[in-house]
Amino acid sequence: MQTKTSTTIGFIGLGLIGGFFAKGNRPDLWIAKAIRQYYPDYQILAFDKSRETLALAMQDGTIDISCTAIDEQFSHCSYLFLCAPISYNNAYLSQLKDLIHPDCILTDVGSVKTAIHEEITRLGLDANFIGGHPMAGSEKSGFSNSKAHLIENAYYILTPSDKVSSEKLEDYRCFVQSLKALPIVLDYRLHDTVTGTISHLPHIIASCLVNFVKSTDTKEELMKLLAAGGFKDITRIASSSPIMWQQICLKNKDNISRILGAYIEELNRAKISIDAGNERELFSFFESSRDYRNSMPDHSAGPIKKIFALYCDIIDEAGGIATIATILASNHISIKNIGIIHNREFEEGVLRIEFYEEDASVKAAALLQKYRYIVYEV
């Protein structure tokens, strides 16, 4: 890896052009801020069609040079991040083709890899390209809400082209690791199958479930009224950007279609067991899913953002919620959401408190227990 004083980092599409990720996921901004935090002497330049985004990034100190065109300035980059939607990236790649020097590591931040790898091969940029996918998410939007720590302890998948050297791959792996992320190297085709199953499919399921409830609800909207925290938790990702998920489904359509077909077969098997009243199969179905779910690690971020929340028993009296909010605020713990749980069929506790970070949730639980509140952690 180069020394700090000789390293230039480039971003094409800072903020992701056209609002593709205007709400929510902003991996380019997190990466830029993480680089600024850990490598303050690196020179960071960025191109974006939005002058406002560039101005904010300059004002914030995240970037050093604001570019209104893709020109010779990018020929000096040691690392060059493509952060626009795939349709834009393809156009920009054509402009970058004659600017990139042989030692430059070209990468992207998209959640679908096949299309961009195919374009890289068509343009003959295989020796430079290592696909990148930071598997982290944030529900807060806007430049001011992008934080360097959002990629800490998050899996960061690397999909090297066949012609990229092992030295380049190791260089970039170490660089990603230095930003406190957890690099994993995968074939790009395997990446699209894996993310299609654990990220793209759940978003489709969540949206289908929400639409199903909407279309079958009573005139009085009783389902909407009675939807508990559990229902909202498993369908939370249905609030993601429609534009983003439309594009992901179109770019990974073959994998998603195949995976959806297999999932539908799984649903049909569950339906057959229910129709037959098969106690053994139903018990095995729920036992197997419980055990596998409980075996999943909690220590790192994945493609679907983890919820940091706790449930707390309180007496329904004036000032009860305000007292808890005051306790937490006085100890510098920020609350993301707080509210009474009215449907507690599958919930423990009366009050649900959600936080932005895991540390805040852990500290809040210990603090409230100190004040003799009964706390149930998620």
The CATH number given to whatever domain includes residue 348 is: 3.30.70.260
Which CATH number characterizes residue 226's domain?
1.10.3660.10
Are residues 28 and 103 located together in one domain of the fold? yes
Structural domain containing residue 17? 4-188
How many angstroms separate the CA atoms of 28 and 13, rounded? Answer: 8
Are residues 39 and 103 located together in one domain of the fold? yes
Say how many domains are in the chain.
Answer: 3
Is pLDDT larger for residue 25 or for residue 26? 26
User: What is the pTM (predicted TM-score) of this model?
Assistant: 0.76
How many angstroms separate the CA atoms of 31 and 81, rounded? Answer: 9
Classify residue 299: in a domain, yes or no: no
Residue 143: per-residue pLDDT? 46
Is pLDDT larger for residue 259 or for residue 345? 259
Domain final residue, candidates 188, 204, 236: 188
Classify residue 300: in a domain, yes or no: no
Classify residue 150: in a domain, yes or no: yes
Question: How distant, in Å, are the alpha carbons of 169, 290, 309 from that of 293?
Answer: 33, 5, 18
Are residues 178 and 47 located together in one domain of the fold? yes
Q: Note the pLDDT tens digit of each residue in 143-186.
A: 444 455 667 778 899 999 999 999 999 999 999 999 988 999 99
Domain final residue, candidates 188, 203, 227: 188
Categorize the per-residue pLDDT at 378 as very low, low, confident or very high, splitting at 50, 70 and 90: low
Instruction: Find residue 337's DSSP bridge partners.
Output: 354
Are residues 53 and 103 located together in one domain of the fold? yes
Is pLDDT larger for residue 221 or for residue 297? 221
pLDDT exceeds cutoff 80 at 307 = no
Residue 301: per-residue pLDDT? 57
pLDDT exceeds cutoff 70 at 342 = no
Are residues 26 and 174 located together in one domain of the fold? yes
Q: What average pLDDT does this structure show over 75-95?
A: 88
Classify residue 367: in a domain, yes or no: yes
What percentage of the chain reaches a pLDDT higher than 90? Answer: 55
Residue 291: per-residue pLDDT? 93
| Average pLDDT value over all residues in the chain | 85
Are residues 126 and 249 located together in one domain of the fold? no
Residue 240: per-residue pLDDT? 81
Are residues 233 and 255 located together in one domain of the fold? yes
How many angstroms separate the CA atoms of 200 and 135, rounded? Answer: 12
Cβ atoms of residues 156 and 181 within 8 Å: yes
Are residues 174 and 315 located together in one domain of the fold? no
How many angstroms separate the CA atoms of 145 and 180, rounded? Answer: 19
Are residues 103 and 181 located together in one domain of the fold? yes
Residue 228: per-residue pLDDT? 67
Are residues 200 and 282 located together in one domain of the fold? yes
Domain final residue, candidates 160, 188, 216: 188
Residue with tokens 């940091």: 308
Classify residue 342: in a domain, yes or no: yes
Categorize the per-residue pLDDT at 78 as very low, low, confident or very high, splitting at 50, 70 and 90: very high
Which CATH number characterizes residue 134's domain?
3.40.50.720
Are residues 179 and 212 located together in one domain of the fold? no
Residue 303: per-residue pLDDT? 59
**Residues 6 or more apart whose Cβ sits within 8 Å of residue 318:** none
Residue with tokens 């936080």: 355
Q: Note the pLDDT tens digit of each residue in 93-126.
A: 999 999 999 999 999 998 899 999 999 999 999 9
Residue 299: per-residue pLDDT? 55
